[in-house]
Amino acid sequence: MRVGWGKKQEKVSTLMSYKNLIIEKHDPGIFVLKISRPKALNALNEEVLSELVRALKEIELDPSLRALILTGDGDKSFIAGADILEMSKKSSDEGIRFAMLGHQVGKMLRFLPVPVIAAVNGYALGGGTEMAIACDFIYASENAVFGQPEVGLGIIPGFGGTFRLAEFIGIPQAKELIFSGKKIKADEALRLGLVNQIFKQEDLLNETISMAKKIALNSLTAVKAGKKLLNELSDTIGVHHKVDIEVHEFGRLFGTPDQKEGMQAFVDKKKPLFLGLSIEK
């Protein structure tokens, strides 16, 4: 375990080493989980998602855990999205497995017994927005950008965006973002209710840690009970049923001409030409 010090001589521990993650522990029991894949703007591939599963299991087992902060390493990106180069090569079945892995991470964030705060420090597109909305609430930097641009790739959100986004901003607003694929800046996200507060880039993490510490001073038993009840109230249809529907529709779209065209165009840095052809199953 490597030990460092924060601005106020606060003891900060760096935990188990991961290739694409950095985990820090701040007193009292505040964990900061950073996605660190800077060359890809912290995009999610299977390796990153698998590491997130392992890391969240490690964190949950720590008896001192009182809150978790999810963020991205660096000042450009929270999570730029899923790794499109990797996705472009997937079959329908592989697409389903990829979506299920993403959902596993999302559900672990959602059902972690303690509060989880997303500190969005830059791009949070596609899977980035979906990981943020799997958290309990979101703080954002002034340069944060959100969006569900999957329709431009011939697919749909596959990590929870088709139902969790509506919990934050309502069904009509979620439909507009998902159907259009448009990106929104932090001020618009605040207006819609997607984020709770906006901070300067340099202040974001400290402000988020400060809120996590305020939470940590309260009754852990009561906070856990509050999170459990709020989650149950929002899962009126049943989260597992919603996940199953989204995962299989996401995978089905990996067999369409539009998906092949959209992702290859992205890789080739061209504008896609969608013909609207589909395969029905």
pTM of the model: 0.88
Read off the amino acid at residue 112. L
Cβ 153 vs Cβ 84: under 8 Å: yes
What CATH fold (topology level) applies to the domain 2-201+226-267? 2-enoyl-CoA Hydratase; Chain A, domain 1 (3.90.226)
Beta strands in 150-249 (DSSP E): 183-185, 197-199
Tell me, what's the pLDDT at 246?
A: 78
> Beta strands of 45-153 (E only): which ranges?
67-72, 77-79, 116-120, 123-125, 137-141, 145-147
Residue 11's pLDDT is 59
- Distances in Å between the Cα of 120 and the Cα atoms of 22, 143, 261, 281 are 16, 9, 30, 37
pLDDT in tens, 267-281: 888 888 888 755 544
pLDDT of residue 14: 60
Q: How confident is the model at residue 50, as a pLDDT?
A: 98
**Residues with active-site annotation:** 130, 150
Residue ranges of E strands in the chain: 2-5, 11-14, 21-26, 30-35, 67-72, 77-79, 116-120, 123-125, 137-141, 145-147, 183-185, 197-199
pLDDT for res 47: 97
- Cβ atoms of 89 and 45 within 8 Å: the answer is no
**Low-confidence spans in the chain with pLDDT less than 70:** 1-16, 234-241, 277-281
